[in-house]
Amino acid sequence: MKKTRNTRQRVVILDILRESHEHPTAESIYREARRVLPNISLGTVYRNLNFLRDQGTVREIRPSEGGSSRFDGADIPHAHFHCVRCSALLDIPLPPVLGNLRFEEERISTVSLVDLHVIGSCTGCEGAATN
Ligand SMILES: [Zn+2]
Ligand SMILES: [Zn+2]
């Protein structure tokens, strides 16, 4: 019984993440989840996000400018661009060269993910600054 409920919560949280392209925070996932599961608590959302992250199903992104972690449920490998001016967090394609990375490092056994973060200004902010 309890197991079924926990699984349902996890499915709802994962659905919200898969449908969002905004990299929501735990708080905004919580607000969405409550529409489907009115009794869900913020603590439960955090617990499930931590579980899914540890499992490798979702990625936790800590913004370079600080603030709340954002979450990503996309299962396609991609990199992230952080705009230092407007705090936008954009999905960008992973440069193909990274797919063939080899590390001459005997301490690494296998690589499951290369987590690339690119920091700079987005075109919207750059345009606003020069006009
Ligand atoms: Zn920007
Ligand atoms: Zn992403």
Tokens of 87: 């705090």
Over residues 4-31, mean pLDDT: 91
The model's pTM = 0.79
Average per-residue pLDDT in the chain?
Answer: 88
Ligand nearest to the CA of 129: 1
First to last CA, the chain: 60
d(CA 34, CA 45): 10
Q: Quick one: CA dihedral 100, 101, 107, 110, positive or negative?
A: negative
Ligand nearest to the CA of 17: 2
Ligand 1 mean position, distance from CA 7 (Å): 38
Ligand 1 mean position, distance from CA 87 (Å): 6
> How does pLDDT run across 58-69, given as a tens digit for each residue?
999 987 767 899
Ligand 2 mean position, distance from CA 26 (Å): 15
